Structures are given as C-alpha cells and as structure tokens.
Amino acid sequence: MTGTGPTVERIKNAAKSRDAQVLEQCLAGAAHEGIPAMQVRDLLFGELESVRKRLMSNDTSIPEFLLTLDCVLDGLDRIRSYPGFTPRVDCTVVIGVVEGDPHDLGKNVIAGIYRACGYRVIDLGRNVPREAFTKAVRDEGAVLLALSAMMSTTMVVMRNIIRDARILTPAAKIIVGGAPLSAELARDYGADTYAESALTVIEKTEEVLAR
C-alpha cells in the first residue's frame, strides 16, 4: 500500500524546504493516516539524493545539503518507531577520527550520510586510540570500517589501524578519507577504497561491499 494525497505532498514539500518543524507535524499526520513508514523513508531519501546530485553539479551549496541532511535524519529518527519500518540496508559501520586529530566535522557529516542511507553507525568520535577501532568492529559485527584523518601528521596512524584490522577483523572492508589522502595513498596503506568527498562515500561503500 502506498499513500497519496495532501500529507504525502506536504512531507515532500517540508523535505524540499528543509523545514524540520513542518516535517515533524507532517510525519505525525502520516502516522495517523496510515501512510506506510517505508514510503516516507523513501521520500526522505529521494530528497537527499536529489540535493546530493545538485551539489555534485555545483547547483547548490554545502550548507544547503547539510540542512537537508539534518532534516532527513530528524525525519528518519521520528519514523523509526513506526510499524513496518526497516532501514534501507542491514549493515553496521564503525567510524572515527584517528588518534591525534581533533577535527571531527568531516567525520560527523559522513556518519550522518551513512545514517541517512540506513546504515547502523557506531561513531567512536575523534582522537580515537588505535585498538578501539578493531575492538568496535569485532564487538559490533561491523562490515565496514571508515577512518578519517585531516592532517598529514596523523594520517600515518591510519596505516597502523589498517594493519591491525587486516589481522584482527579480516572480513571487514576499510574505507578512508580526509584532506591529506589520495586514492594512491589509500591503496598503499592497504585500504579497500578511498572516498574523496562526502558526496561519493555511499557509492564507494556500495561498490566495495559488493566485491
């Protein structure tokens, strides 16, 4: 069953205008009218995808994309408890900023994108000690380890974490990102893939998980 009508339109418009408050009201209405949670989930995701594509073609700004992402995350949090809701994917990702690096904005955005796309995210935060990554992958049964470093001085730490992960959690795929990295460096470090920006991280993740 799919719902049509004014509430669905209002949800679409609220997501388009990045208005979390209006969206909240619409979602309450949707639950009342029996609009399937999965339909709402796909609507929200569709809007995020459309803004992502616009940002990739320089047709909108990063703050505008993040506003949409905030709105979608808020909406998803609300419908998560609705009957029939299931996430888009059934995967856990462990994410964190390596030790010595205090920058976490990029990591927060990537974690938000993973959440919006349905991944279960274990966010270890910033300045994470080496051993914490493999421990979390093992304890949480994660299929993906996402590492970020924003400084050239801290990216070498990544190499050690990747080495640990290859030995201790060999089944988990590893994706890396951050300003000082490149696809070549990521390969040299032993990562499975490299995401050059938050906008391509999901494509890269899907690619690597399908291997």
Partner 1 sequence: MNTQPAILSPRLTRTFMEHLKRRSRATLGTGRNVSPGAARLERMLNEALDAVAREVRPKVMYRMLPVRSLTGKSIRTDAGAVKSVKLARLAQNCRGDVFVVFVIATLGEAFEDLYRRETSLSGQFIIDAVGSECAELVTDGWNNKWNSLIKRRGHECSLRFSPGYCDWKLEGQTVIFGALDADAIGVTLTKDYLMIPAKSISAVALAAKKVPAAAPCAFCRSRSCPWRRMEFTGVP
SS (H, E, C) 167-210: HHCCCCEEEEECCCCCHHHHHHHCCCEECCCCCCHHHHHHHHHH
Least separation in angstroms between residue 153's CB and partner 1 is 4
| Residues in contact with partner 1 by the rule CB under 8 A | 16-19, 60-64, 66-70, 73, 100-103, 105, 108-109, 112, 151-154
Taking the least distance from each CB to partner 1, the nearer of 2 and 57 is 57
Taking the least distance from each CB to partner 1, the nearer of 103 and 120 is 103
Taking the least distance from each CB to partner 1, the nearer of 21 and 86 is 21
- Joined together, the tokens standing for residue 130 give 């080496």
Least separation in angstroms between residue 26's CB and partner 1 is 16
Taking the least distance from each CB to partner 1, the nearer of 24 and 70 is 70
Least separation in angstroms between residue 177's CB and partner 1 is 16
Least separation in angstroms between residue 159's CB and partner 1 is 14
Least separation in angstroms between residue 74's CB and partner 1 is 9
**Per-residue CA distances from 72 to 34, 41, 124, 211 (Å):** 20, 9, 22, 29
Q: Specify whether the CB–CB gap between 97 and 48 falls below 8 A.
A: no
How far apart (Å, rounded) are the C-alpha atoms in residues 130 and 26?
A: 44
Strand partners, 176: 147, 194
How far apart (Å, rounded) are the C-alpha atoms in residues 177 and 196?
A: 6
Backbone dihedral angles phi then psi of residue 164, each to the nearest 5 degrees = -55, -45
Taking the CA of residue 72 as centre, how many other CA atoms within 13 Å lie in the half-sphere pointing to its CB? Answer: 27
Least separation in angstroms between residue 105's CB and partner 1 is 5
Taking the least distance from each CB to partner 1, the nearer of 61 and 86 is 61
Taking the least distance from each CB to partner 1, the nearer of 134 and 154 is 154
**List of residues 6+ apart from 24 with CB closer than 8 A:** 74, 75, 78
